Every structure is written in C-alpha cells, then in structure tokens.
Amino acid sequence: MIRRFLHNPLAQALLILVVSAALGALVNAARPKPVPWDSKPAFDILPHLPLAESLEAFDAGDCLFIDARPVEFFQQGHILNAISVPLTAPEAEVLDAVQKDHPYRRLIIYCEDENCDAADAMARRMKRMGYANLFVLEGGWLAWSKANLPAQ
Amino acid sequence: MEQGESAGTVNASSPETPARGTDSPWKLWTERVLRWGLGVIFVYAAYSKILDAPSFAEEISYYHMLPMQQVNWMAIFLPWLELVCGICLLTGFSWRGAMWLVIAMLIMFTYAIGHAVHEGRDIRCGCFGHGESAERVGYVAIGRDLVMIATAVVALFLRRSRN
C-alpha cells in the first residue's frame, strides 16, 4: 500500500515537502545562531539616514560618503568628496580606502537608489570587517542628485 | 537500478516499436541525463544556502516581495527543499514528485527575478552562492530558469511509463 502511495507524484511531492520541512527545522534549531521564526531579521539591518540628516552631516564635515556602486557609475557623478569603494572591491582595497581609525563620526554608504542592495550589503560587509558608525543614505545617489545637493 | 526503471524499459522483441508503456533506450538515457543535470544544479544551489542561511535571508529580503517572517521561513526551508529534490532527481527515488516541485520552484524563481528586473532592482540573485560578486538579477538568470523549466518538463514527459 505504501509502495502504491509512493507511485503517485503528488504523494511523492508531499513526502519531499514534509522531509524538507523537518530537516530545515531540525538543522535550524541546531545552528549556533538560528534563523528566527518570527519577524526578527536573521541579519544585521544597519540604520538608514534620511536625506536631510545626511546633508546636515555633509555640512558639518564630520562624515565620509562611500560610493558602493561600480566605478563607472562613480565616474559619471557622485556626492562631493565621496570616495569610490565598490561592493565588489577586495578586502585589502576597502581597508586601504577607509582606515579603521578614521577621524569621521559617520561613514555614510550609498548606491544608485532605493532599488539597489549594494549600500546595505557594503555596510554589512564593513561591519563584519570591524568598522563602526555605518549608515546607509536613504534614496542613494538618485535622491541626492535630484535634490541638487553638492556633487561632482 | 533506480526506482521506476526496473521493468521492461525496452521491448526486446521489436526494438524499433516499443510496446505500450515502455521506453526506448534513448528516451530513458535522455531523461536520466536531464534529470541528473537538474539534480546536480539543485544540490549545488542548496549547498551554500544551507551553510549560510542568514545571508540567504538577506538576499531574499532585497526582493521586497515578502514580509520578514516569510523571508525567514524561506531561508529555513527552501534550501532543504532544493537539496532533497536534487537528491531525489539524482537517485531516482520519488523523482516525478521531485520534478514537479522543481518546476514549481523554478516558476517561483522566474517570477521573483522577473519582478525584480521589472522594478529596476539591482540586487544579488541569491541563486548560487553568496558574496559581493555573486550573480545579480537579470535576463541571464531568467533565461537560465526558463531553460531549466523546459528541461524539467521534457524529462518528465519523455518517458511514457509511469512506473
């Protein structure tokens, strides 16, 4: 009877779903840092800085803007005095571009707009590398340039 | 011998006209090769996601299609579903059920990537592996998924016998 049941593709699919769910739940429970079952994110979400606050920080001159887009995008236009550290840059290049004992109060990372993941991913990457005071510019380069804020 | 391939897959008396319910060797081997290919791809795709579930959750979240709780559930279950389906396709155990699930997953992936491309998102695909230089969403990923759907459908319907 079980053999007959298992000849049905629907039954096979159900069995696979049950086995996968059980394995997933068991292995997750055994992880040192399990993925939460509730709505808590499983990864660090770094603070996003609204445009107005980013401009205040820019005017105060105590922050460094980091452009996480590919170099070609940076060359076409970027926030004034920002440095280019693409998401794909090797770790040595990141360490070279931004010293760990930098004098800035904030490191503000941005990518193209709100539809890109490079700024968030870069912020998380830099946090893993030991950097602190990391922020993501809300709306990215597009919001900054649309507001006619200082650029080059 | 794999499950579902035990009985009379070739009609020995008249090889050119297989009997009803049997398959010619080329169909059998084509189905096997396609199935093994998809199996390897799915096991490979599952591997890095199982090792680093939080990074996979992060990649799913960038699609902005699911609330965080469902993102977490996907990160917990989906890689294991890929792995179990991959193993079933490789071993032949419950492979038809696995193939239907693979098709369902691929349709879901294609829709998600298509949606991200349509919305102009520049995000990592989350298809194979993590890291900063991992593949990004785009027409290549959509095309690859469509080819895999076609492969799965061909493998599923190539053999007439439902053993």
Q: Shortest CB distance from B67 goes to which of A27, A39, A125?
A: A39
Residue contact A115–B133, C-beta within 8 A: no
**pLDDT tens digits, one per residue of A26-59:** 999 999 999 999 999 888 888 999 999 999 999 9
Considering the domain boundaries, does residue B132 fall inside one?
A: yes
What sign for the dihedral angle of Cα A26, A30, A32, A37? positive
Closest approach of B55 to chain A, Cα-based (Å): 7
The residues facing A92 across adjacent strands are none
pLDDT of residue B24: 83
φ, ψ of residue B110 to 5 degrees: the values are -60, -45
Tell the residue number behind the tokens 């294991």, with chain if given: B80
What sign for the dihedral angle of Cα B56, B59, B65, B71? positive
**Which residue is closest to B156 within chain A, CA to CA?**
A9
Considering the domain boundaries, does residue B58 fall inside one?
A: yes
**Which residue is closest to B121 within chain A, CA to CA?**
A115
Considering the domain boundaries, does residue B57 fall inside one?
A: yes
User: pTM for this structure?
Assistant: 0.80
Q: Looking at the predicted structure, is the pLDDT value of residue B6 above 50?
A: no
Considering the domain boundaries, does residue B29 fall inside one?
A: no
Considering the domain boundaries, does residue B124 fall inside one?
A: yes
Strand ordering across the sheet containing A106-110: A48-49, A134-137, A106-110, A63-67, A83-84
Interface A:B, Cβ pairs < 8 A: 120
Closest approach of A60 to chain B, Cα-based (Å): 31
Q: What is the per-residue burial (b if ≥16 Cβ within 10 Å, else e) of A102-124?
A: eeeebbbbbbbbebbbbbbbbbb
Tell the residue number behind the tokens 């349509």, with chain if given: B118
**pLDDT tens digits, one per residue of B56-106:** 999 999 898 999 999 999 999 999 999 999 999 999 999 999 999 999 999
Residue contact B122–A11, C-beta within 8 A: no
Q: Shortest CB distance from A88 goes to which of B73, B79, B133?
A: B133
Closest approach of B77 to chain A, Cα-based (Å): 5
Q: For chain A, how far is it from start to end, CA to CA, in angstroms?
A: 74
Residue contact B54–A21, C-beta within 8 A: no
pLDDT of residue A68: 94
Considering the domain boundaries, does residue B119 fall inside one?
A: yes
Closest approach of B73 to chain A, Cα-based (Å): 7
Q: Give the domain range for residue B136.
A: 44-158
Considering the domain boundaries, does residue B24 fall inside one?
A: no
Number of domains comprising chain B: 1
ipTM: 0.82
